[in-house]
Chain A
């Protein structure tokens, strides 16, 4: 078990070193969410029809676009696995005396490292433009943990996809087709109550929806009644995709 955790931490360290060497990628990843909160948010604030529960609209969507950007990064994390499959990296990792579960979970949670790095840029920018966060360090840390593990889940989902599609072009297509429904059929930009019932039903199966809800309650609203359900949903999601991705990992190699 200790070895298992240690291997996961080695994978996280690798990712941290990669992020350190290529900051440009990180910066380009945060451009989009920053546009959402600096342009889209203020523009839509004039529309009073969105029931945000008394919170300014930009504040309302800040957790939503934050999670959107970290989720997108994570979903396309599978691309790295497709790439590493084309090179020999995965073959070599597969031949090391470490648990294959630890490799898959470690690589998945590596996406969490990138997600945290993104959040560390987006949140200060949001503060600068006047978004009011709850000032509580514990809440902030909890939100980061949720982002970390949710991103790991989405990355695992993408590893799972990668094990089936195996080429970059197809992966790009599927990744693109997946990310926008996840984003729009959630409470990232508006409460799900505004959606037609059928879409609301879909939202209950959308892990991004629960992630946004949890992070919003911890950073913005301080309204925790849904938090246990959110956390439970993310745990179930993680366990499911971690197991499925590990089971299919051998397929990526063959």
Chain B
């Protein structure tokens, strides 16, 4: 299968010296749903904006369907659709008018235009609200309208930057169902950034974890989970002075890896049942009170914690986006 996106040694240093991308290498298969997941500031949006030809990388190369995004930007733009994280529709005209304007910008022939717009509205369940001004729409409806206008032009690849940020679970689910069915019908490749682990887990064929401007791990969800091997023990502790305990646990037999985050430790072990007692003993010796213990098969969260070294904490960002969306609606 040939690649929809190929990235080689991509580096982006912003004016002022902030290094957003630090040598990215990436391959995305055609027709797959690809998820780029990482903490805030990891470089997700920067990578997507380079792939969508909005600005140039400092060094390295990126290709979309074999076309260099810097040299052949014009041709790349004909193949792609892009939905930025922020609101990207005009809120002071109706949903129908938004799609009509986009249909014209993409030069859909006038004979097909009306049909394409109606179809896009229908697909995203917006027919009923076609003539309402967008500033009366809910956040989920605005997102659906944005995705409708992105899909209306039948792109070969769809770039979505945090497609469901700030939406409630049912709106998120609705959007994903539409995207999946569209992918089935038209074979579009979907490249999305997210920090919702569950979306990556449920909907993506391939995942890459990005941290501090570099891809730290990639593969299918299953591959990533299996890469940890064994089982995972989570310990919730009463303290965050863990040094002694960490050292002890690392030295135990059957322990593969120990990752900690605040007052929580994740221990990857060969066999949880045999190792747990020794871990508890170590905690007792170090006089660390254990609040809660759980044993699981590795999940994508654990993979993320291991490779990105942090949990996905995104509360602040979501609030910010919600506020922006609210402000826009108030206009």
Contacts and interface: CB of A to CB of B under 8 A. Distances in A.
B104 interface: yes
Interface residues on B, range: 20 to 34
B254 interface: no
B104 A10 contact: yes
Interface stretch (A87-95, A196-204, A212-220): A87-95
B93 interface: yes
B77 A87 contact: no
A13 B101 contact: yes
Given A21-B133, A87-B328, A10 B101 contact: yes
Contact of B84 (A7, A18, A91): A91
Interface string B84-127: 11111110111001000110111100000000000000000000
B54 interface: yes
Interface in B12-53: 49, 52-53
Contacts of A93: 105
A95 B52 CA distance: 6
Contacts of A3: 107
Contact of A254 (B55, B82, B107): B55
A89 B97 contact: no
Contacts of B94: 21
Contact of B55 (A14, A92, A96, A253): A253
Q: A-side binding surface: helix, strand, loop or mixed?
A: helix
Contact of B90 (A7, A18, A96, A250): A18
Given A18-B90, A97-B78, A91 B54 contact: yes
A253 B77 contact: no
B324 A86 contact: yes
Contacts of B80: 95
Nearest to A18: B92
Contact of A94 (B54, B89, B90, B107): B54
B78 A14 contact: no
Contacts of B87: 87-89
Contacts of B102: 96
Nearest to B14: A254
A247 B53 CA distance: 16
Nearest to B104: A10
Interface in A4-62: 6-7, 10, 13-14, 17-18, 21-22
Nearest to B159: A95
B74 interface: yes
- Name the residue among A13, A86, A97 with the largest chain B CB count within 10 angstroms: A97
B78 A95 contact: no
B55 A87 contact: no
Given A86-B324, A88-B87, A89-B90, A95 B77 contact: yes
B90 A14 contact: yes
Contacts of A226: none
Contacts of B84: 88, 91-92
B92 A13 contact: no
Nearest to A7: B105
A98 interface: yes
Contacts of B97: 14, 17
11 contacts: A7-B105, A14-B97, A17-B93, A17-B101, A21-B93, A87-B86, A88-B86, A91-B82, A92-B88, A96-B102, A253-B55
Given A92-B83, A96-B106, 17 more contacts: A10-B101, A10-B104, A14-B90, A21-B94, A88-B85, A88-B88, A91-B54, A92-B82, A94-B54, A95-B54, A95-B82, A96-B102, A96-B105, A97-B74, A250-B55, A253-B54, A254-B54
